[in-house]
Structure 1
Amino acid sequence: MYDYIIVGAGSAGCVLANRLSADSTKRVALIEAGPKDKSPLIHMPLGIALLAKSKKLNWAFETEPQEHLNGRRLFWPRGKTLGGSSSINAMVYIRGHQADYDYWASQASSDVWGWDRMQALFKRMEDNHRFGVTEHHGQGGELSVSELKTVNPLSRDFVRAGGEFQIPYNGDFNGDSQEGLGLYQVTQKDGRRWSSAQAFLRGAEKRSNLEILADARVTRVVIDDKTATGVTLRQGTEYRQLRLNPGGEVILSGGAVNSPQLLLLSGIGDARALTKKGIPVVHHLPEVGKNMADHLDITLMHAANSRQPIGVAPSFLPRALGGLYAYLFHRRGFLTSNVAESGGFVKSTPDRDRPNVQFHFLPTYLRDHGRKISLGYGYTLHICDLLPKSRGYIGLKSPDPMDDPLIEPNYLSDPEDLETMIAAFKIGRRILDAPAMAAHSKYEVQPGKTVQSHDDIVAFIRENAETIYHPVGTCRMGADEGSVVDPELRVRGIARLRVVDASIMPRLVAGNTNAPTMAIAENASEIILGRVRVLDVSRIDADKRPVRRAS
């Protein structure tokens, strides 16, 4: 019997487990489908290059064939270990734009989800090694945010090339302005990955009232009379059930894919779709799984004319051995690289009111999410549309909880998204052609200089665009009756059940989603513990919603 059952030990779940188990009178269960985060590939930052191949630490999902991407199925890596995707991601620390959270507040009819509140939470959670305590940053929190220990010269030259193309330098993407190019800050500590598990679970896992169940797959939320009473799970070949104490809660933190899947398996979703899959309808909630948004990404690649990049070649062996020594004994060197060392934010067209394109520059080749080895020395530029209008959904392939869910992102279904990608592609190419980067180039590998016309660029995007791993929105939060969860993240129509993860975002943030997901959990824990009250707006007309201050 537990007071809180948290399903998913990812970016959000680890924060919740820490905060909710701080009260020693409350018993907390944290359930993770994957193993404990013991792999050295997790903790050594450059290990990210191999984590995409791991089927033990990675859900390794695939989408449905994408109509607007030449019918291709896209690979969707998601973390499957303590720390979730924060244990396999590129560690880039980005909060998003203030306007993102102002929109959340408008949807929640409460500034509990507005920028002022969320920025305060970001600062409270943060331990920023460079900026310390400032208007925009905090120090002393559990989440270590630092500069990269070692930066490849090409990453700095990418930033210089932006300046040659009239793109300003930005030394802090989480400061006064998001626009510009610069080096990313990362969630690392002493040259090692600082995942949500490292930050929030390590200090809490020894508490006697917190039970962590790894390698345990939740198959259903148990619901009696429209009230969550526990969960069923499979651990190995055995099935068991965890029950709630009176007044306890089940909290889904499986992310934008697994949380809606579990709601659907539990009979919460669109009644017609559930009936077709043979799942008894517990509660008709049509938006479960809908409203999914993701950042679609296209890459440019160049062969380098030197051995400065990180490469796979016999000539790299001495440097690799030196890098291993530097990492093991000094926590420095290229093995501390997050690979995506520099980048930034630009507008696809001058008339935009804020940046809508993000770059991630990698001083190495990266093909097929790192699943294909590219020999030699080169560099890669990732270019993504931050504010896509296309929307997709998560559904069920079958009623078997062991099956992967149906993933339909519906990329480029809105024609405006394609126009943004074309404009962003051209900007990225011009940066790589600027003198500071052209000095490193032997030739353009992808797409190659023969791709110049509008039609050629469109064809290249449709054949090569991929996710950059930021799906959200499938359990949308809102004050309206149609939303999946209310502003306190309670599932509508079901008592004692909440969703706390990236799936509740009403709209995708303009940036990487890891830090915002942790902040969502921090805010949710305050709400659950009664430290913040949100106005109950479930019966208020959406056109007449009041905006209340957090108390």
Structure 2
Amino acid sequence: MFSSQNPSVFLAFALLLLRSQPSEARLLQDASQLRAQYDYIIVGAGTAGSVLSNRLSADPKTSVLVIEAGGSPDAIQAIAVPFLGVTLPGTAVDWNFTSTPQEGLNNRILRYTRGYVLGGSSSVNLMAWNRGSDDMWDHWARITQDAGWSWKAVEEYYFKTSRIVPPADGHDTTGQFVPSAHGNGPVEVSLPGFPTQLDNRVIKTSKQLGGRFHHNIDLNAGKALGFSWVQSSIGQSKRSSGATAYLEPVLNRTNLDVLTNTIATRILPSKKSPLTLNIVEIATSGQPSSARHNITATRELIVSAGVINTPQLLLLSGIGPSSALRTAGITPILDLPGVGQNLTDHPFIPNYFTVSSNATFDDVLRNETIFTANTQAFMRLPKSSPLLKRFGDPSSGPGSGHTEFGFMDGFAAFGPLPPPVTGHFLTLATAVVSPLSRGNISLNSTSPFDKPLIDPAVLTHEFDVGATVQSMKDAQNFVSAPAWDGFVVAPFGDLAQATTDELKVAYARKYATTVNHPVGTAAMSPKKANWGVVDPDLKVKGVEKLRIVDASIFPVIPEVHPQAVVYTVAERAADLILRSL
């Protein structure tokens, strides 16, 4: 049995396991192998695109083309080995986006990791699995005026996404999750397999403190509040992604073509109708000099390119705010001011503490950005919080949080602070999960090969700043509980000096980043609303045969990690598409 006290042995075991895994992918890289038209074309083989590829191609009479900018994850061990997931940012499987200078962060520039590979961000994320509270889904139903987004309606689609499997160490998980809250879908989800010295302290403290710090057996059982075990998209010691769970098992279908290393450059109207947008222009090899090809979707063109690439593609195609498009030299096809707006992310603060233990990961992983979290929590602000009185409650409801905690056994190198060369540490990461700051995506140029301007506007709203301060106070209070006596020594570095609210704000502006959860740039709204980008059925407003299915359609950000929410949206979208025949 492997433990956190010997992570190097665990890594060696995991790498050996992965070397035995055969390559399964059968993929195309040449546009000359394509048909001139397909029933469905899906732009993006990421989290949502993988689901759609599987569900829409289930009928052998239906032809499906999937266009992916990246390549196959085969033989990339850092994708498959969960412990190595944090080494993927900045590599060839990352789009390597960066933000504009962030005013709320002392004009620092943030790195945005998005998956440039089959499976998209489900192949490069940190695998946390949260389906969101019942309140969150009911809130979406109220915003869109469509009961189809309520939890009662989407529950069946969540159950289709995933299933609980044994953890890597095979321990008895009785009492660590609620079996009835989980389904029987293809994504494998498990509880932590290798315990750390933090885990029991976290659970014990939550049970002792109660109240806002209470224990919750399963954060996926309706209320996403409390301290609990992390559930992750991991099975058999490997990452379970959109690629492995949904796409690779159906690559042998003769009615499914998956074209990799290809950029979608524009969406074009049908020759029969200027408001029927069912043609996609592509560039194979992903280079500006690449030959362009037009492919037609006879039923629907579905954009699942992600929260950054989806609005960029729409804008390049003339779909967006007309005045801005004309200024950029693009002829507008459809005036949709919401395209690229409403960008929302979770601001994230690393709180570092020195500890008396020499059993952390620090000695093994010194100067390496490798870490894992076995426990997490979502909390609400105190009922008496002046923030709630001043700004109202931005969360979906009483079952949803305002802030998040994550516990890492060692120095997790988030943000600009490098790991110390000596010492042992606890990283208590806190985030605001119901932020009110809103940013945007805009064009940097009219070339589809230039990255867009990304402004998440982190910590630009006073609520987010105040909630960040509260999360830092809660973190210090939590590790001051009796279970941490003799283990936590003191706050580390600048955190030790952040003794007032003003100094905590200064700390946050210096060290904050985001949790890499951008959403909302093509938000859905009620059918007859004159705002938003897509209707509740995810069809782009004002045109025919064009639909968007990815995290860009979220009307507001979930108060949890969004991966499982994207899968659920995609399952429902596939059903909506098939029912529309």
TM bucket by the smaller chain? 0.7 to 0.9
CA contact (8 A) 1:152 1:308 kept: no
> Taking structure 1 as reference, are residues 424 and 174 closer, same or farther at Cα in structure 2, changes over 3 Å only?
same
Give yes or no for the alignment of 1:46 onto 2:95: no
* C-alpha spacing 1:81/1:294, structure 2 compared with 1 (3 Å): same
Q: Aligned partners of 1:263, 1:17: CA distance in 2, in Å?
A: 21
Q: 2:204 aligns with which of 154, 160, 175?
A: 160
1 CA distance for matches of 2:66 and 2:480? 49
Aligned residue for 2:158, secondary structure, equals helix
* Partner deviation per Cα, 1:259-283 (whole Å, 9 max, x = no partner): 1111001110001111111111111
In structure 1, the partner of 2:8 is none
Within 5 A, what are the aligned runs for 1:537-548? none
> Which residue among 324, 333, 344 is the counterpart of 2:377?
344
Query: Does residue 30 of structure 1 match 2:77?
Result: no
Tell me, yes or no, if structure 1 residue 462 matches structure 2 residue 504.
no
Aligned pair 1:145/2:182, yes or no?
no
261-270 or 2-11, which moves further after superposition?
2-11
- 1:302 Cα deviation after fit: 2.0
Post-superposition CA distance 1:225-284 (Å, at most 9, x none): 1212321222224333242253x2111111111111110011100011111111111111
Please show how residues 374-453 of structure 1 align to structure 2 within 5 Å.
375-376=421-422, 377-453=424-500
8 Å CA contact retained: 2:415, 2:512: no
CA contact (8 A) 2:199 2:374 kept: yes
Q: Partner letter of residue 295 of structure 2?
A: R
- Tell me what 1:547 maps to: none
Q: Deviations over 1:58-82 (max 9, x none)?
A: 1121111112221111111111111
- Aligned AA for 2:99? T
- Contact conserved, 1:50 with 1:371, CA < 8 A, in 2? no
After superposition, the C-alpha distances for 1:180-219 in whole angstroms (9 at most, x for unaligned) are 1121111111111101111101211111111111211111
Using the TM superposition, give the Cα deviation of residue 142 of structure 1 relative to its aligned residue in structure 2, in angstroms: 0.7
Match of 1:504 in 2: 553
One of 179, 203, 215 as aligned partner of 1:169: 215
Q: Which runs of 5+ in 1 are unaligned?
A: 321-334, 534-551
Distance 2:216 2:486 in 1: 23
Tell me the equivalent position of 1:259: 310
Residue 322 of structure 2 aligns to which amino acid in structure 1? Answer: A
Q: Residues of 2 paired with 1:312 and 1:474: CA distance?
A: 42
RMSD: 2.4
Q: 2:105 aligns with which of 64, 69, 90?
A: 69
The letter of the residue matching 2:109 is: R
Compared CA separation, residues 29 and 439, structure 1 to 2 (3 A): farther
SS in structure 2 at match of 1:341: strand
CA gap of 1:501–1:176, structure 2 versus 1, over 3 A, is closer
Letter in 2 for 1:494: V
Residue in 2 that maps onto 1:324: none
Gap regions ≥5 residues in structure 2:
1-36, 166-172, 385-392
Question: Which deviates the most, 444-453 or 189-198?
Answer: 444-453
Match in the other structure for 2:536: 487
Amino acid at match of 2:349: I
> 2:572 maps to what in 1?
523
Q: Quick check: 1:298 aligned with 2:353?
A: no
Residues 232-241 or 7-16, more deviating: 232-241
Distance 1:313 1:297 in 2: 25
Residue aligning to 2:130: 94
Q: How far apart in 1 are the matches of 2:140 and 2:188? A: 26
Distance 1:347 1:498, change over 3 A: same
Q: Which residue of 1 aligns with 2:13?
A: none
Residues 118 and 372 of structure 1: is their aligned pair in 2 closer, same or farther, counting only changes over 3 Å? farther
| In 1: Cα distance, 2:545 partner to 2:504 partner | 50
Partner of 1:85: helix, strand, or coil? helix
One-letter amino acid of the counterpart of residue 275, structure 1? R
SS at match of 2:362: coil
TM-aligned CA distance change 1:192 to 1:511, over 3 Å: same
Matched, 1:221 2:272: no
Which deviations, in whole Å up to 9, do the C-alpha atoms of 1:91-119 show, x marking residues without a partner?
Answer: 11101121211121122222111111222
In 1, are the aligned partners of 2:90 and 2:113 still within 8 Å (CA)?
Answer: no
State the AA in 2 paired with 1:207.
R
Equivalent in the alignment of 2:295: 243
Offset, 1:512: 0.4
The aligned counterpart of 2:19 is none
SS state at 2:426 partner = strand
Matching residue's letter, 2:278: T
Deviations 1:120-153 (CA, angstroms, capped at 9, x unpaired): 2112222123689954222x31111111221212
Aligned-partner SS, 1:80: coil
**Deviation for aligned residue 1:468:** 0.2
Q: Does 2:410 align with 1:364?
A: yes
CA distance in 2, matches of 1:254, 1:473: 13
* Number of the residue aligned with 1:546: none
DSSP-derived class of the 2:437 partner = coil
Q: Distance in 1 between matches of 2:480 and 2:96?
A: 35
Residue type of the partner of 2:192?
L
**Equivalences for residues 277-288 of structure 1 within 5 A:** 277-288=328-339
- Aligned partners of 2:304 and 2:429: how far apart in 1? 28
| Identical-residue share of aligned pairs (%) | 32
Instruction: Name the aligned partner's letter for residue 378 of structure 1.
Output: F
**C-alpha distance in structure 2 between counterparts of 1:77 and 1:227, whole Å:** 33
Deviations 1:148-183 (A, max 9, x none): 221212233233333444322222001143221121
Indicate the larger mover: 302-311 or 513-522: 302-311
Cα deviation 1:292-329 (Å, max 9, x = unaligned): 11111111012332232222449x89xx9xxxxxxxxx
- In the alignment of these two chains, the number of paired residues is 511
Partner of 1:5: 41
1:209 aligns with 2:255: yes
Deviations 1:449-483 (A, max 9, x none): 22101211111111111110111111111111322
CA gap of 1:174–1:398, structure 2 versus 1, over 3 A, is same
**1:123-142 paired onto structure 2 within 5 Å:** 123-129=159-165, 134-138=179-183, 140-142=184-186
* Alignment partners' CA distance in 1, 2:419 and 2:448: 34
Aligned to 1:78: 114
Residue identity opposite 1:144 in structure 2: E
- Counterpart selection for 1:103 from 139, 159, 170: 139
Distance 1:428 1:295 in 2: 17
| Equivalent pair of 2:371/2:409 in contact (CA under 8 Å) | no
